[in-house]
Amino acid sequence: MGYNILTPHQSQVVDAIQQRDEIIQWYTFTGGTALSEVYLQHRLSEDLDFFTQSQVMDHKINALIDEAKTEIGYESYEKRVYSGLYMYTLIFSDGDRLKLDFNEYDFPPVEHGTKLGKLSVDSLFDIAINKLEAILSRSKSRDFVDLYMMLPVIGCDIDQVRMRLADKFSGIRDDTEVVRHLTKVVDFSDYPTMLVSFDRQAMIDFYLKEAKKIGERIFR
């Protein structure tokens, strides 16, 4: 099938795995690549992320990747495991490396998603919630970019996403913590490769304005 922003190697992987019952029954395609391919077509993205609310049966993933070697066209792969996250890096003859993450994810979606072929895909709102959670737990420019690009599409602001974040992850982040993380937007020098018009300074100003608004509530 045709894709929007996937690289040839990513396309080969998606074509192959959506023919496997283990994936289409138990996993959801999510993260930045799913966001850009299915919803926004706004940037290039490197990794393929798959979440499951069940247990990752890595022996089945191993077998799947081995069986699909000819279809995908990789030469070898590396595997790492970290606390329910199973990371596979496919290595191709042209030197490209493609990371596939299969993650045990205990948090049910707040909205129904969509489909990419036979693959289940996270809803736009669920990806937004996950991106805000990522902003509040790590510092990656792509998470700030993605959430900034999503908010006008889903028609809500950061506070509304925070409310649903509390629903999904069973807890409300402290305002002081939120302000601290939002202001990290000024720290980045590396940004993803954008496929649409993007005003970096406008994004920075947006997050600083949101941080100021939340900060003013702290001192009322």
Q: What are 63-82's pLDDT values in tens digits?
A: 999 999 999 999 999 999 99
pLDDT value of position 107: 87
In sequence order, the 6+-apart residues with CB closer than 8 A to the CB of 54 are 26, 104
Q: How confident is the model at residue 165 (pLDDT cuts 50, 70, 90)?
A: confident
66-99 per-residue burial string, b: 16 or more CB within 10 A, e: under 16: eebeeebbbeebeeeeeeeebebbbebeeeeebe
Q: What is the mean pLDDT of the segment spanning 144-152?
A: 98
pTM across the whole model? 0.94
Which residue shows structure tokens 């992320």? 49
Residues of CATH 3.10.450.620 domain(s) within the chain? 1-122
Is the pLDDT at 123 greater than 70? The verdict is yes
d(CA 98, CA 142): 18
The type of residue at 92 is F
Q: How confident is the model at residue 1 (pLDDT cuts 50, 70, 90)?
A: low
Coil, strand or helix: which one is 31? helix
Statement: residue 50 has pLDDT above 70:
yes
Who wins on pLDDT, 135 or 218? Answer: 135
Q: What is the pLDDT of residue 215?
A: 87
* 170 against 125, higher pLDDT: 125
Higher pLDDT among residues 76 and 220, named by residue: 76
Q: Average the pLDDT over 3-11 and give the result.
A: 95
Q: Which residue would you say has higher pLDDT here, 138 or 103? A: 103
pLDDT computed for residue 220 by the predictor: 64
Over the chain, what is the mean pLDDT?
A: 94
**Mean pLDDT to the nearest integer, 161-186:** 87
Percentage of residues in the chain having pLDDT higher than 70: 97
Is the domain defined by 1-122 classed in CATH 3.10.450.620?
yes
Q: Is 185 exposed, middle or buried (0-12, 13-18, 19+ CB in 10 A)?
A: buried
